[in-house]
Structure 1
Amino acid sequence: MSIVRGRLTQEESRAAALDAARDLLIEAGPQAVTLKAVAARIGRTHANLLHHFGTAAGLQGALARMIAERVTLEIGRAVELARQGQADPREIVDRTFDAFAREGAGALAAWMMLSGNRDALNPVLDAIHGLVDQLREGHEDRPIRAVTLWLVLAALGDSLLGAPMAEALGLERGTARELATRQLLAETGLGAI
């Protein structure tokens, strides 16, 4: 439990709330990310969080934006390192799958879609679109958009159903990542992404 003490700037208070929201998301799932729960986690009031985010949907949207920015930054770094021959393309797959699983982006995206809060996904979609635009610069001949589509969909599906599906099929848990890595190499040609 992370209690924030003392007087914080608005920016620090907002950041502490988002970190607590992310922790709740990972620990207990998206339904646990409420203004009341986040306020309790950081020792603030519900009114304080209303001031920063306006509504629970505002908090969820800000959380989605934060996760999307962190995730796309990490994936972008992995792609650039792979292009320079300094990283295995598997790192791209692992960072993408981890973003949706360990970072909570998969559960958050699914919950937003199922609860009808699709607008809150815009920061995630915008961040991915921005990353694709950045990665395409100077590499317009490569299938970056298509690869991004299937990789994100595979990572999202794996974050939601990967463990039980692999178990039901008698496969190792990392099988989806292995398949995604093979597909990435086949689509892009030995790290030429």
Structure 2
Amino acid sequence: MSITRERLSPEESRSAALEAARRLLIESGPQAVTLKAVGSKIGKTHANLLHHFGSAAGLQSELARYIGERVTAGIAEAVQRARQGEADPREIVDRTFDAFGREGAGALAAWMILSGNRDALDPILESIHHLVDQLGRGHEDRPVHETTLWLVLAALGDSLLGAAMADALGLPRDKARALAREQLIAAADAKA
């Protein structure tokens, strides 16, 4: 009996590989994101993934771009909805913390920094920069860049050390998120 595989377009194969890499990153950590492991998840060979990404570093860079685009799209939506009064500013904090925690941006950033592959972070940083520029247009009276800086650093820190630090201090696990919500709400109230 032969197994028939569905033939995917090159773009569909790349997308499937990136989603598999993201899931591996979240489930098992950065060390689990190898060309072989990603290929195994989607039924592709190591050579096939090399064809799509050029190298493991190429996969990492594209994974950073993929996560960066996912992260900023969700945050942009939350900011726009909050500005229109359709969402609570807390949603912005939740999306940011989730992006770095559950979506894997924090683990990816730490992995790239610790492995010396800082250039692979450029897509995430570029996505955030583009988002901040977009959100700042027409709102020059608001500290969009400064707010983004502290919120991203808080979410990144929480994704990497939040559970251990909260436990060590005898605080609830979501205390950093709650503090970030309070800060964002206070900043929004100050502008109102």
How far apart, CA to CA, are the structure 1 residues paired with 2:11 and 2:142?
A: 40
Deviation at 1:188, TM superposition (A): 3.1
Moved more, 4-13 or 95-104: 4-13
The alignment partner of 1:188 has SS state of helix
The one-character-per-residue Cα deviations of 1:94-127 (angstroms, maximum 9, x if unpaired) are 0000000000000000110011000000000000
Q: Secondary structure at the match of 1:189?
A: helix
SS of 1:8's equivalent? coil
Partner in structure 1 of residue 149 of structure 2: 149
The structural deviation recorded for 1:184 is 1.1
Contact 1:82 1:89 in 2 (8 A): yes
d(CA) in 2 for partners of 1:155 and 1:37?
Answer: 28
1:49 corresponds to = 49
Contact 2:90 2:185 in 1 (8 A): no
CA distance in 2, matches of 1:51, 1:187: 48
Large movers: runs of 4+ above 4 Å: none
Q: 2:151 touches 2:180 (CA, 8 Å); kept in 1?
A: yes
Aligned to 2:40: 40
How many angstroms apart in 2 are the aligned matches of 1:11 and 1:49? 12
What residue in structure 2 maps to residue 10 of structure 1? 10
- 1:46-103 CA-to-partner distances (Å, cap 9, x unmatched) read 0000000001110011111011101101000101111111111110000000000000
| 2:142–2:191 CA contact under 8 A, matched in 1 | no
TM-score (norm 2): 0.95
How many residue pairs are counted as aligned between the two chains? Answer: 189
Q: Percent identity?
A: 73
Unaligned runs of 5+ in 2: none
The answer to whether the 8 A contact 1:74-1:95 is kept is: yes
Counterpart of 1:50 in 2: which secondary structure? helix
How well do the aligned residues superpose, as a CA RMSD in angstroms? 1.4
**What is residue 133 of structure 1 aligned with on the other side?**
133
Q: Specify every segment of 5 or more residues in structure 1 that has no aligned partner in the other structure, as ranges.
A: none
For the 8 Å contact 1:29–1:107, the answer to whether it is kept is: yes
* TM-score computed with the length of structure 1 as normaliser: 0.95
Q: Displacement of 1:187 after TM fit? A: 2.5
Counterparts of 2:93 and 2:127, CA distance in 1: 17
